[in-house]
Chain A
């Protein structure tokens, strides 16, 4: 198939890529942009390791066409670290054992970012059902719940400390 020039906005930057119309978003990210944080764990939307946000909605980049994302804002795990530092959820995942081998972690974090954006104080059941589209083989998920709660607390404290005049 002949390649076409496609414009993708990824993590706030514009990229022009020559891609086959059948190219998957995951391949465009990993092979053409070297954004290898999004992982390929399966090829059939089973595992969620390739989750990225398209206009803020978590999507499985292994089963969407790159060309269909033109004009949309794509955020990958590489776009989550702000100003070169870890976001609260990334720090919490590392500290609380939410990431063991770490292969599924980027996908989970993209899912959790969306959960916390739409529901800043989720209940246990809401967390469980939000994570159910992502698979992990190491953690048994339990420590992820702790990490998510720790991240929520850290975010809240962070906001408070910003509003207080002296630290």
Chain B
């Protein structure tokens, strides 16, 4: 990886590692109530504290914003109402963290507590005390799609299954907590604070620039967003998180740079993860296994704000298509508001939970019609190139090979059903977009643009807005440029994600970077290459189309078959040995050019010579490439048809091997074979890393990870309590790369970072069924749920593990994560809660 050194030596800078002179620390006061009106805020005592420079509140920047144009429902700091425990109320900018923390306790906020909604189905029945006044029944958005004739489809089916599936709420929990540093430059003309510079842990620097401009009422050109190293995103940094704007508001008010870094508990409140989803699914198949119709009703518990919600609920329906050939689809999706932190985009956006339900039900149907689970999937393949019933264009389709490879490597045929008591195999498939074909903000602008500059030193600088967040964006860009120009990777310098320097790229989300920024890089490099070729061709006395760029040199095609070492030009071969492009300064003096001129035309030139020739000829050597998805790939015309279409889809098939302890209900995943069709694998180590990482994250959601709520309070806001799997719980994953070369991808490449996640959960569910014969309808598959299912199967009395335990009873109280609560800044707790003992009890409290 081109950026590995900074990461492994500790020299690389993430946002929280940055420091500017005069920098203050910002800390945020959060709401202790899930739903309340703010009657008054008194910051005077806090402002008087020594070391406090400014206290910002909602009316300092009252404009609303939101990542989607249809969802501008957030205030950086609450104006009149708080809508979840953890909502942002005020921000203190002080000289250090301890002072800021003390000041938070001095801010007096008077709340009028309102009834709150925590369950989506209850929330949908709400008439009064709505979370947002303009959303009746707390319904953010609902969509009702019918493609084909589902009723006829079900009538044609020989076997129909219907069930409710529930997927628990999960969050990204990226290792780097969100952090933002905002600083105003003093304008030379006016002598007042002018341009705003923001360093932030973001996947979408350009959207951040846009939202800052909206809230701060500054022109975008006056705002510079710089993305330093980002410690993982998974979607959690793919929209504007409140602290990113709050830092700028606080910096404006304090007239000094302000850095805010969330604590881990605040990261859980910021959330934007995968919503708890209720899926009522009905699927019909014929005896031969072919699917006749699918009907899905999906309810998502979206939390208090829109966030990416409208897109999430559309993805859930749209990507029922494009994996299998399904002629009739009915989809009813409801995105519901509740008084919890907003859910947003998370790895496999919108598709994961529905895929869990669908693949589980397909497995059940296979068992009922007595068909091998791998075979029923083979019987429903698409015949690409094609357009699905809901308007998704599929061109490259490696699913058949994915199924083939996983079945073969896992020994499916010989081992399925023969692993003995409590051990089993399960198979499932999934797919994902290689970037959304329609951007969030409707416009005809390219989704990615890349500039390349080559100077006389032969160094290639690529300027890209694409955001490296650990997925390998910079490495991919360098590789595509080097491959196109036939030069070594060492020549390439990447300048990325700085709105002052790099052209617009809409960001690292929906697995779009390789496909879109990759294509833009390819085009920019091709443009530069054309200029070099025309100049080199003149020098070499041949046509530009006769030239081949390879191994840091330009050859005539007639010689291209031979290795450079065997060409007559010994000097070129010698130069190849060193990547540095060392030419003793001759290029700048021009004597090398003179020498070449004297020697007459040759059959090859070194890369530097060709570059110098091109600069001499054209005056400058720059190229620009951009990418916008083709019109054919932008989907159907129906309402909501803009979400789901992509220029290309990745495909995945997985087999999981699990064992289940029938005494305790504990599930162990032993191995996962994961085949993923990523088009051409540009960097196989990275591709395998992405596949393994996706499968692993899917396994976390399947077995342990869940956000547990009680009355709007998060019960497990720490990494251990959230149960992110450690190396002990993590299975071996065997990644299998399948390369269906996509006609439009850069060198045929597609997505590889999200698609695999969705298959893992149902593969594990199906393996549990194979192992012990119970079908789990609710994730995560915790020991309690597995045990309950096993006992229900045997008609035994269910065990209530939490019977008689009162979570508010201090004697049975178990502390969990979140050091903030100890400091008394978190949500209100029971008066006898041990964590509150250090602060004096309030009047009216228990003694």
Contact = CB atoms under 8 A, between A and B. Distances in A.
Contacts of A106: 8, 10
B559 interface: no
Nearest to B263: A43
A107 to B, nearest CB: 9
Given A44-B819, A132-B727, A137-B172, A34 B8 contact: no
29 contacts: A34-B19, A40-B16, A40-B177, A41-B176, A41-B231, A41-B264, A42-B718, A44-B264, A44-B817, A78-B10, A94-B8, A96-B685, A97-B1, A100-B472, A101-B232, A101-B470, A109-B8, A129-B728, A131-B726, A132-B726, A132-B727, A133-B726, A135-B175, A135-B724, A137-B724, A138-B470, A138-B689, A139-B689, A139-B693
Interface string A92-134: 0111110111111110010000000000000000011101111
Contact of B692 (A80, A129, A137, A143): A143
Please classify the interface of chain A as helix (H, G, I), strand (E, B), loop, or mixed, using the class held by over half of its residues: loop
B106 interface: no
A93 B175 contact: no
A86 B724 CA distance: 30
B514 interface: no
Contact of B232 (A46, A80, A103): A103
A143 B230 contact: no
Interface string B717-749: 011100010111010110000000000000000
B549 interface: no
Interface of A: 30, 34-44, 46-47, 49, 76-78, 80-81, 86, 90-91, 93-97, 99-106, 109, 127-129, 131-144
Contact of B10 (A36, A41, A43, A127): A36
B693 A99 contact: no
B135 interface: no
Contacts of A97: 1, 685-686, 688-689
A142 B692 contact: yes
Interface in B1-32: 1, 4-14, 16-17, 19
B508 to A, nearest CB: 11
B726 A135 contact: yes
Contacts of A99: 1, 4, 7-8
A100 B471 contact: yes
B4 A42 contact: no
A20 B718 CA distance: 27
B625 to A, nearest CB: 27
A44 B718 contact: yes
Interface string B467-480: 00111100000000
Interface centre among A39, A138, A141, by most chain B C-beta atoms within 10 angstroms, is A138
B331 interface: no
Contacts of B696: 139-142
Nearest to B685: A97
Nearest to B1: A94
Nearest to A91: B8
A97 B794 CA distance: 46
Contact of A102 (B6, B261, B264): B6
Contact of A137 (B8, B685, B697, B732): B697
A97 B11 CA distance: 18
Contacts of B732: 142
Contacts of B728: 128-129, 132
B8 A102 contact: yes
A139 B8 CA distance: 14
Given A94-B1, A135-B175, 15 more contacts: A36-B16, A80-B9, A86-B5, A94-B5, A97-B1, A100-B470, A101-B230, A103-B174, A103-B176, A131-B726, A134-B727, A136-B175, A137-B172, A139-B692, A143-B689
Contacts of A40: 16, 177, 261
Interface in B690-722: 692-693, 695-697, 718-720
B469 A141 contact: no
B6 A100 contact: no
Contacts of A39: 14, 16, 175-176, 231
B10 A37 contact: yes
The 8 closest A-B pairs by CB, nearest first: A37-B10, A102-B7, A101-B470, A94-B4, A140-B696, A103-B231, A77-B10, A36-B17
A145 to B, nearest CB: 8
Contacts of B689: 97, 100, 138-139, 143
A43 B8 CA distance: 22
B229 interface: yes
Contact of B8 (A47, A93, A127, A142): A93
B9 to A, nearest CB: 5
A129 B11 CA distance: 28
A134 B727 CA distance: 8
Nearest to A80: B9
Contacts of B334: none
B788 interface: no
Interface centre among A39, A46, A103, by most chain B C-beta atoms within 10 angstroms, is A103
B173 interface: yes
Contact of A46 (B9, B231, B719): B719
Given A39-B176, A97-B686, A132-B726, A102 B719 contact: no
Interface string B140-171: 00000000000000000000000000000000
A93 B16 CA distance: 23
Contacts of B261: 40
Contacts of B234: 137
Interface centre among B17, B234, B697, B727, by most chain A C-beta atoms within 10 angstroms, is B727
A86 B9 contact: yes
A94 B13 CA distance: 16
Interface centre among B12, B692, B693, B724, by most chain A C-beta atoms within 10 angstroms, is B693
A132 B231 CA distance: 20
A104 B175 contact: yes
Contacts of A76: 10
Contacts of A128: 727-728
A101 B231 contact: yes
A141 B177 contact: no
Contacts of A44: 264, 718, 720, 817-819
